[in-house]
């Protein structure tokens, strides 16, 4: 059996509730893993929360609660409920304050120290609590005579401590070679070029512990220090699947089955951590490197990265309450090229909702079901060939599969929705309501209605990963659950095999898939 397709999202800081930017990555991961499940692959989808460090600690303090209480509250009241609301089918949820994570991090660090990759040194430099990052001279922005972080536009803090260091510099050369020889391991190309340019410069060792506060995982041989929050957080991808466990144990078997990760999805702001520090940590431990790190762009508001700290964060529920969860999922995957920045606008989501979802897709479904009810006694007519649609469908499936697997969600959805448009054009050309008026055209009418219903079967399968709930409704309405089986069990390849919807399948008018929007 081939290895599990193991996909991760970044683990999110729980200093605040999630906004659109966070949901963007998690939805992309959900669409991709659902797609791979529908390809018949074994899949593991991990997300979680990053709970240590000064950023979370200070927010908890500002709210007058202990950090653990703060993170427990946010995880249970804000983060997990949002993923449920957005229909995210993750297989696991890792919290960095969990015992399973903390003990494995400590064990990993001890091993690195034994192998000589960790040493004691003095750190003296500038730190951004927003990024939880030690800033290098090239990352600092001088503003009004102050040294600031370009991402957070806030003054940097001076840190002078005796810390433990990781020999990051030892891995610059092998990593550079890796990205030059295996470009597919860091995508898109713009992200890879940035990493290559960073690795070609002067890569210095990394301070991996802090002594001035205690909200973190204690360094086991030096309890006065806690592990640097990024070193702790990056390890989640491996601790969640049993890093360092006895190979015969459950954790050890899970690790053998999932590691290395197939794709780490990250935002471009945290690329360097994932494409430099993380693989260096793995190399130091003699572990295989992730197959791919993919850096997506930012959702922008007013031309700037949407963020809570800049008061531009939009809550996902603001959108789902108006458009519904599936339209929300569809919109961000369809409208923005994954890997590039994109601006969110209410006008754009409204326009796409109406034209692509309500008109092209929703109307096609309701018209087809209504006509089969009216002209065919609610029974799907005999299976019939219709090469102009079946050929277009076979192409759409091939292109969509290629694009989705390459994380080009926009390209995949365009291929699928172009097919949907093609089917609409076919219905208009064939005008079944005219054929129905002439008894001698009965066979033609049946062929057209079969072809249209069969195309809807395929669309339900192809759009299921992106819009799980709506496609279920369509599947029910088509009667396919009874005549074919559960939608989630349908393979992508089967979508393109014409004739899948059996004759005689009983259709039922369901609720409107994308109701008309209420004016605000
Ligand atoms: N905790 C770290 C990640 C550790 S992973 C080992 C972190 N957390 S975060 O909550 O600040 O951000 C998590 C992800 O959300 C990042 O990939 C970031 O790019 C993404 N986004 C935050 N705001 C965003 C937008 N406005 N647009 C798109 N994604 C953005 O970093």
Residues with CB under 6 A from ligand 1: 10-13, 21-22, 24-25, 50, 233-234, 236, 266-267, 269-270, 298-299, 305-307
Pocket test for ligand 1, best of 50, 149, 267 (most atoms within 8 A of CB): 267
Report the distance separating Cα 69 and Cα 54, nearest Å.
15
Domains of the chain are 358-506 (1.10.730.10)
Report the distance separating Cα 130 and Cα 153, nearest Å.
10
Residue-wise pLDDT tens digits, 349-361: 999 999 999 999 9
Å from CA of 471 to ligand 1 middle: 30
Mean pLDDT, all residues of the chain: 96
366, pLDDT greater than 90: yes
210, pLDDT greater than 60: yes
CB atoms within 10 A of CB 464: 25
Which residue has a Cα nearest atom 12 of ligand 1? Answer: 12
Pocket test for ligand 1, best of 9, 13, 21 (most atoms within 8 A of CB): 21
Give the burial string for 137-153 (b: 16+ CB within 10 Å, else e).
Answer: eebbeeeeeebbbebbe
CA distances from 27 to 35, 267, 327, 472 (A): 12, 13, 12, 18
pLDDT tier at 519 (50, 70, 90 boundaries)? Answer: low
Residue-wise pLDDT tens digits, 434-487: 999 999 999 999 999 999 999 999 999 999 999 999 999 999 999 999 999 999
Which residue has a Cα nearest atom 16 of ligand 1? Answer: 267
236, pLDDT greater than 90: yes
Which residues belong to the active site?
19, 22, 128, 131, 149, 152, 305, 308
Residue-wise pLDDT tens digits, 276-325: 999 999 999 999 999 999 999 999 987 888 877 666 778 899 999 999 99
Torsion sign across C-alpha atoms 144, 149, 155, 157? negative
Which residue has a Cα nearest atom 24 of ligand 1? Answer: 21
């Amino acid at each position: 059996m081939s290895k599990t397709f193991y996909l991760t999202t970044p683990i999110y800081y729980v200093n605040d509730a999630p906004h659109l930017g966070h949901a963007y990555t998690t939805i992309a991961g959900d669409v991709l893993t659902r797609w791979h499940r529908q390809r018949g692959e074994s899949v593991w989808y991990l997300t979680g929360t990053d709970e240590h460090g000064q950023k979370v600690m200070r927010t908890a303090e500002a709210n007058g609660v202990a950090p653990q209480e703060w993170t427990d509250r946010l995880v249970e009241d804000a983060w997990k409920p949002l993923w449920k609301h957005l229909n995210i089918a993750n297989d696991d949820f890792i919290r960095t304050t969990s015992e399973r994570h903390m003990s494995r991090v400590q064990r990993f660090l001890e091993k690195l120290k034994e192998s000589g990759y960790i040493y004691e040194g003095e750190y003296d430099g500038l730190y951004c609590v927003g990024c939880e990052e030690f800033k290098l001279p090239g990352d600092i922005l001088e503003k009004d005579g102050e040294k600031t972080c370009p991402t957070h536009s806030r003054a940097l803090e001076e840190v002078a401590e005796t810390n433990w260091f990781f020999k990051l510099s030892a891995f610059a050369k092998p990593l550079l070679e890796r990205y030059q020889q295996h470009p597919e391991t860091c995508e898109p190309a713009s992200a890879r070029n940035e990493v290559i340019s960073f690795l070609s410069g002067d890569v210095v060792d990394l301070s991996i512990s802090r002594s001035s506060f205690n909200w973190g995982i204690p360094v086991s041989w030096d309890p006065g220090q806690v592990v640097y929050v990024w070193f702790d957080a990056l390890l989640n991808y491996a601790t969640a699947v049993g890093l360092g466990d006895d190979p015969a144990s459950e954790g050890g078997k899970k690790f053998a089955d999932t590691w290395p990760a197939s794709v780490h999805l990250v935002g471009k702001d945290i690329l360097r951590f994932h494409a430099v520090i993380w693989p260096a940590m793995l190399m130091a431990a003699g572990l295989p490197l992730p197959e791919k790190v993919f850096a997506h762009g930012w959702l922008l508001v007013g031309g700037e990265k949407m963020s809570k700290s800049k008061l531009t964060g939009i809550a996902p529920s603001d959108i789902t309450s108006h458009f519904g969860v599936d339209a929300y999922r569809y919109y961000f995957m369809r409208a923005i090229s994954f890997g590039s920045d994109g601006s969110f606008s209410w006008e754009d989501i409204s326009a796409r909702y109406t034209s692509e979802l309500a008109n092209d897709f929703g109307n096609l479904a309701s018209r087809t079901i209504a006509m089969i009810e009216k002209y065919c006694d609610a029974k799907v007519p005999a299976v019939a060939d219709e090469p102009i649609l079946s050929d277009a469908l076979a192409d759409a499936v091939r292109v969509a599969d290629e694009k989705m697997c390459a994380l080009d969600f926009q390209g995949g959805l365009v291929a699928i929705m172009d097919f949907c448009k093609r089917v609409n054009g076919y219905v208009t050309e064939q005008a079944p309501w005219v054929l129905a008026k002439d008894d001698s055209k009965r066979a033609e009418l049946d062929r057209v209605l079969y072809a249209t219903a069969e195309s809807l079967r395929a669309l339900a399968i192809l759009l299921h990963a992106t819009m799980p709930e709506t496609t279920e409704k369509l599947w029910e309405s088509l009667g396919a659950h009874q005549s074919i089986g559960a939608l989630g069990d349908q393979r992508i390849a089967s979508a393109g095999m014409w004739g899948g919807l059996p004759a005689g399948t009983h259709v039922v008018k369901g609720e409107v898939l994308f109701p008309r929007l209420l004016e605000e």
